[in-house]
Amino acid sequence: MLERKKEIELELATLASQHNPDILSPDPSDQAASASFEDLAISLEQRQREEYDRILKALEMLAAGSYGICVDCGGDIEEKRLLVYPNASRCLACQKAYEQNVC
Protein backbone atom coordinates (compact mmCIF):
# COMPACT_ATOMS: atom_id res chain seq x y z
CA MET A 1 0.00 0.00 0.00
CA LEU A 2 2.73 2.47 0.96
CA GLU A 3 4.80 1.50 -2.06
CA ARG A 4 1.86 2.07 -4.38
CA LYS A 5 1.45 5.55 -2.84
CA LYS A 6 5.10 6.34 -3.58
CA GLU A 7 4.68 5.07 -7.12
CA ILE A 8 1.70 7.33 -7.71
CA GLU A 9 3.48 10.32 -6.19
CA LEU A 10 6.33 9.69 -8.61
CA GLU A 11 3.95 9.35 -11.57
CA LEU A 12 2.21 12.60 -10.64
CA ALA A 13 5.54 14.40 -10.37
CA THR A 14 6.57 13.06 -13.77
CA LEU A 15 3.27 14.14 -15.31
CA ALA A 16 3.55 17.58 -13.75
CA SER A 17 7.05 18.07 -15.14
CA GLN A 18 5.86 16.99 -18.61
CA HIS A 19 3.03 19.50 -18.40
CA ASN A 20 4.63 22.11 -20.65
CA PRO A 21 2.48 22.57 -23.77
CA ASP A 22 4.63 23.65 -26.68
CA ILE A 23 2.64 26.65 -27.95
CA LEU A 24 5.34 27.70 -30.39
CA SER A 25 5.12 24.50 -32.40
CA PRO A 26 5.57 25.60 -36.07
CA ASP A 27 3.62 22.75 -37.69
CA PRO A 28 -0.20 23.02 -37.25
CA SER A 29 -0.67 19.25 -37.51
CA ASP A 30 1.94 18.86 -34.80
CA GLN A 31 -0.02 21.24 -32.64
CA ALA A 32 -3.23 19.25 -33.06
CA ALA A 33 -1.45 16.06 -32.16
CA SER A 34 0.10 17.59 -29.08
CA ALA A 35 -3.29 19.02 -28.05
CA SER A 36 -4.95 15.61 -28.07
CA PHE A 37 -1.98 14.16 -26.25
CA GLU A 38 -2.41 16.93 -23.73
CA ASP A 39 -6.06 15.93 -23.21
CA LEU A 40 -4.99 12.36 -22.75
CA ALA A 41 -2.37 13.36 -20.21
CA ILE A 42 -4.90 15.42 -18.28
CA SER A 43 -7.47 12.63 -18.06
CA LEU A 44 -4.73 10.24 -17.04
CA GLU A 45 -3.63 12.68 -14.38
CA GLN A 46 -7.18 12.97 -13.06
CA ARG A 47 -7.53 9.20 -12.81
CA GLN A 48 -4.23 9.00 -10.96
CA ARG A 49 -5.26 11.78 -8.60
CA GLU A 50 -8.48 9.93 -7.84
CA GLU A 51 -6.56 6.75 -7.15
CA TYR A 52 -4.08 8.70 -5.07
CA ASP A 53 -6.94 10.22 -3.03
CA ARG A 54 -8.43 6.75 -2.48
CA ILE A 55 -5.12 5.39 -1.25
CA LEU A 56 -4.54 8.44 0.91
CA LYS A 57 -7.94 7.95 2.57
CA ALA A 58 -7.20 4.29 3.10
CA LEU A 59 -3.87 5.22 4.69
CA GLU A 60 -5.62 7.68 7.00
CA MET A 61 -8.02 4.95 8.05
CA LEU A 62 -5.12 2.61 8.52
CA ALA A 63 -3.40 5.17 10.77
CA ALA A 64 -6.63 5.67 12.72
CA GLY A 65 -6.88 1.92 13.22
CA SER A 66 -10.26 1.76 11.49
CA TYR A 67 -9.06 0.33 8.19
CA GLY A 68 -11.00 -2.74 7.15
CA ILE A 69 -13.51 -2.28 9.99
CA CYS A 70 -17.16 -1.66 9.19
CA VAL A 71 -18.33 1.64 10.70
CA ASP A 72 -21.85 0.28 11.15
CA CYS A 73 -21.47 -3.19 12.64
CA GLY A 74 -17.78 -3.09 13.65
CA GLY A 75 -17.08 -6.29 11.76
CA ASP A 76 -14.29 -6.96 9.31
CA ILE A 77 -14.79 -5.73 5.77
CA GLU A 78 -14.29 -8.47 3.19
CA GLU A 79 -10.76 -8.48 1.78
CA LYS A 80 -12.07 -8.76 -1.78
CA ARG A 81 -14.14 -5.65 -1.18
CA LEU A 82 -11.12 -3.72 0.12
CA LEU A 83 -9.17 -4.58 -3.02
CA VAL A 84 -11.88 -2.98 -5.16
CA TYR A 85 -12.71 -0.17 -2.72
CA PRO A 86 -9.60 0.51 -0.60
CA ASN A 87 -11.47 3.20 1.31
CA ALA A 88 -14.62 1.16 1.92
CA SER A 89 -15.96 2.00 5.36
CA ARG A 90 -18.73 -0.59 5.50
CA CYS A 91 -18.99 -4.31 4.98
CA LEU A 92 -21.06 -5.44 1.98
CA ALA A 93 -24.21 -6.10 4.03
CA CYS A 94 -24.10 -2.71 5.78
CA GLN A 95 -23.26 -0.90 2.55
CA LYS A 96 -26.33 -2.45 0.88
CA ALA A 97 -28.51 -1.46 3.82
CA TYR A 98 -26.99 2.03 3.77
CA GLU A 99 -27.66 2.47 0.04
CA GLN A 100 -31.23 1.27 0.45
CA ASN A 101 -31.82 3.82 3.19
CA VAL A 102 -30.33 6.61 1.11
CA CYS A 103 -32.39 5.90 -2.02
Nearer to Zn ion, 8 or 61 (CB): 61
Instruction: Give ∠ CA 24-30-35 in degrees, rounded to 5.
Output: 80
Taking the complex as a whole, how short is the minimal distance between the CB of residue 84 and Zn ion, in angstroms? 16
Site for Zn ion in 20-79 (CB under 5 A): 70, 72-73
How far is the C-alpha of 65 from the C-alpha of 84, rounded, in Å?
A: 20
Taking the complex as a whole, how short is the minimal distance between the CB of residue 44 and Zn ion, in angstroms? 35
- HSE, CB side, 13 Å, CA atoms: give it for residue 103: 6
How far is the C-alpha of 10 from the C-alpha of 27, rounded, in Å?
A: 32
Nearer to Zn ion, 58 or 91 (CB): 91
Taking the complex as a whole, how short is the minimal distance between the CB of residue 63 and Zn ion, in angstroms? 21
Taking the complex as a whole, how short is the minimal distance between the CB of residue 56 and Zn ion, in angstroms? 23
- HSE, CB side, 13 Å, CA atoms: give it for residue 58: 20
Nearer to Zn ion, 30 or 76 (CB): 76
Residues within the interface to Zn ion (CB under 5 A): 70, 72-73, 91, 94
